[in-house]
Structure formats: structure tokens, C-alpha cells
Structure 1
């Protein structure tokens, strides 16, 4: 049985990745700074899977090292890491202060750095490992107003991914990125409710109308891509950015704006 760590695993794409890795027979360690992670642990256990929740603040190196050390004591190492935890707070560039910029950098970049640095030595010792980094189409490929702080971090993660892929290829470790488009996560639902408290589904339907597949993706679909990249079958894939967006990057014109 392989041991996987998924960060930001309490809900959304993190839960989707945890579920799909469980389905592949992994023991999945759920890292999150929310107490909700323990409800997710119980949910997966009720399905018959091996899962364990950890309260972990990925921006805190000590917190990360403590959690990873506990995983290693319990399971002897770490085989798979899905760096999913991330934040997004919208503000136009001139309204983005240093505090908001640092918030994104600390979680999205430094958090991913901290967990990967704690885990990779165990993979290198074993001569096998899979690292999946959750980037986004936003920032790396497309962008809308208000995403400057978020975009810089998600684009930066692709640079980190490629660097790690090159550095660790000889040790049997692959490093790849997943770049979601519009995915129906709890955060997206909350955002729709804030935009239109009386008709959040209308907001979601409007987004879906602009996607060639006419729907939003699911966390489980994102999780399935993560699980594939973490599999033996993906052993010759490294240093890649994998878009999962229902074809949203394809149209030359914005369907909603035509």
C-alpha cells in the first residue's frame, strides 16, 4: 500500500484527490488547517478506506515537519504528494497591498515549497515518488481582472514544478502540475452566493454557458487526474502542465460575450 499526503484535503479538489487516491488503494494522509479535516477522515473511513487527518498549517515549517514526521513514523515514508492547498482573494492591482500579496505567496508558493521539501527526501531514499502540484489556468495561461496576486503564485508554481521535475527525474520521482479551469467546489458555490444571494445557481449556469462542455468540472474529475499522475502508468510523464477545463481555453471568442 502506498502512502499519500494531500494538502487542503478537507474539501473541494483536495477531497477529490484524496477520494480517488483512496480508490486506488492508497493510505491517504489528509493535511488541512481546518477541523473539517477530521469529518473528511471519518467520511472516507466510513467508505472502507484508510485515511488519517492532520491539522497542519503549510505556511509553518515546524507544523509541516511535525506532521510529515508523524506520517513517516506510522507508515515508514511518503510515496505520493498532492500539493493542493491554496488561497484566492480577489482585488484589483492598485488595491492589492503587501499583506494580501504575502498571503498568497506564503500559502500558494511557500506552503507548497515547505511540504515538498519535507517529503522529497523520503521519496529519493526509496527511489520512487510522485509529486502533483495544483496550479491553475488562471495566471499561467489566462487571467481576468482582480487576480494579480493569485495569478503570480499559480504561474510561479509551474516554474517550481519544472525545476523539481528536472532535479529529481534520476531518482524515479515525477513532478507534474494540474491546471483546473471552472470546477464546482464549495468555494465556487460560496462565491456565486456572494455574487447573487438570491440566485446563485443562475451565476453558476452563466459560467457553465461559456464552457464548451456546458458544465463545470467536479472535484472528483480533478482528483482522478491527480491519481493518474500519481500512478505507475504515468511513470514516464514529468514536468508537464495538465489542463482540466472542459475545453474552456479552446474558443477564440468568448461565447458569453458574443
Structure 2
């Protein structure tokens, strides 16, 4: 039996990047999927690929930054799943690295909305379904909640990711009586399309400097892959982790131990 067979997983930001790779790895392990993202074209493409793995895949296009859309979204999710949601992956998020004096209220609000309020509200609205299945919640965080990097101002972003880590632990405590597990993954730098676009902005000298930084900052000497995060997500979502809750799992090549 596959590790997630018989489970339905809702994944926000599931149409590309880490979210899509989590969805793909979940599908390989037998999970039915509902992907929530803003871009309809990306959702359509993701659905075509994932259906080839022989699982049910549904998509919902929603602008999660519009908090007023959450009640309608969650009602749709409950309707499509008949209230049977086993795994909620809160993957959607946004990061702006602006110096404190330059950080606008609109950028702050966007990070607070997507990185804190959206996961909180989704969990709140989907709680009856998660209670019914004794399901579990997986929040995707980041190393920026624990480690700062010289030259990259991250006050607001780090604040929001610290908040999701604290929420993870608090909800593990609060929801344990309902047999709902709540965990988080905090990746280090991961080789995504967004990351590669950032590398493409560097000249040769900057690129060499970054490569040297990776060698010195990461005990394992390299950044991670989307699959590294996805395999950890499968474990935490599966029954193999039935006694794991309140954990912030660092998938970071040792970055946060230095």
C-alpha cells in the first residue's frame, strides 16, 4: 500500500515550485489532490501532469491575498471532498527583502496575509473536516525564521515565518485532543525556478561569492532540491509520523546549526 493511499490532500500554492513537487510526490504515494493557486493556466498544466500518476486531481483558482474569499473557498473545498480532508498543506507564501525604512505597508500586509492569516483562516474553516478524519496540517516555513543573512534585510518576512512556527506549536497543543497533528517544514535555500532567476541576476563575481558562501554556511556544502522538501512532507503527512506533532523540521543541509 502506498504511504498516502486513501487520503485527500489540499495544497495551497500547488501549481508550481515546492508546492507542485509536494503535490507530485503525494500523488506518487497515492493521495488524491486539490490544488489551490491563483494562476488558472498553471493549475491546468499541473493537473494534466499529475493526473498521469493515476490519482484524482482537482484545482481551484483563488487569490488567497483576498481574505474575503476564504469562506467561499473553504466551502467549495468541503463540498468537493464531502468533508473528507486528511492533509492540509499551507505552502503559499510571499517574501520581500526590503530594508526596514523602505518597507511599505502594502508589502507588509501582503506578507502578513499570505504567510500568517491565510494558513490560520484555512485551518479554522477546515477544522470540522480535519476533526472528522483525524487529519494533519503541514505548514511550509523557512530558515529565515531562525537565521539571518548579512546584507539581506528580512525583518518583516522573518517575523511572519516565526509566527507560523509558533502557530504550528500552539495548534499542535490545542488540536491534539482531536487527534489532529500539526507540523512544519523549514527549508534552507532550495533550487527552484525563482531561486534560479535570482542567481541569473548575479554577475560572475557575485555568483562565485555566493557559491563560496554556500560551501562555508552549509555543513553539507550545497543547497537543497524541491524533492528534499517533498519527501519530508510525505513522511509528516503519512501515518508513519502518527506520533509526530508540534515539530519544525529543518530541511536545510545543516544551515541552521552554524
Per-residue deviation, 1:103: 1.5
Alignment of 1:136-215 (within 5 A): 136-139=142-145, 141-144=146-149, 145-196=152-203, 205-206=211-212, 208-210=214-216, 211-215=218-222
After superposing the two structures, state which structure 1 stretch, 62-71 or 241-250, moved more: 62-71
CA distance in 1, matches of 2:65, 2:118: 5
Could you list the per-position Cα deviations for residues 126-168 of structure 1 after superposition, in whole angstroms to 9, with x for gaps in the alignment? Answer: 15011001111112x1112311111100001111111111111
Deviations 1:159-218 (A, max 9, x none): 11111111110111000111001111111111112234x799757744542322222211
The 1-side partners of 2:16 and 2:207 are apart by 20
Partner residue, 1:219:
226
Q: Does structure 2 conserve the Cα–Cα contact (< 8 Å) formed by 1:131 and 1:174?
A: yes
Match of 2:87 in 1: 80
- Equivalent residue for 2:19? 14
TM-score when scaled to structure 1? 0.89
Q: Work out whether residues 108 and 154 of structure 1, in 8 Å CA contact, stay in contact via their aligned partners in 2.
A: yes
CA distance in 2, matches of 1:114, 1:61: 8
Question: Are residues 195 and 121 of structure 1, via their aligned partners in 2, closer, same or farther at CA, if it must alter by over 3 Å?
Answer: farther
Q: CA deviation at 1:70?
A: 2.6
Deviation at 1:21, TM superposition (A): 1.4
Correspondence for 1:113 among 111, 116, 120: 120
Q: Tell me the matched-pair count.
A: 248
Consecutive unaligned residues in structure 1, runs of 5 or more: 252-258
Using a 3 Å threshold, how does the CA distance of structure 1 residues 3 and 249 change in structure 2: closer, same or farther? Answer: same
Matched, 1:97 2:104: yes
Give the CA deviation at 1:50: 2.2
RMSD, aligned α-carbons: 2.0
Instruction: Quote the offset at 1:225 in angstroms.
Output: 0.9
Picking from 224, 246, 250, the partner of 2:253 is: 246
Compute the TM-score of the two structures, normalised by the length of structure 2: 0.89
Summarize the Cα distance change of 1:202–1:44 in structure 2 as closer, same or farther, 3 Å threshold. Answer: farther
Question: Which whole-Å CA distance do the structure 2 matches of 1:32 and 1:203 have between them?
Answer: 35
Unaligned runs of 5+ in 2: 1-5
In structure 1, distance between residues paired with 2:141 and 2:177? 24
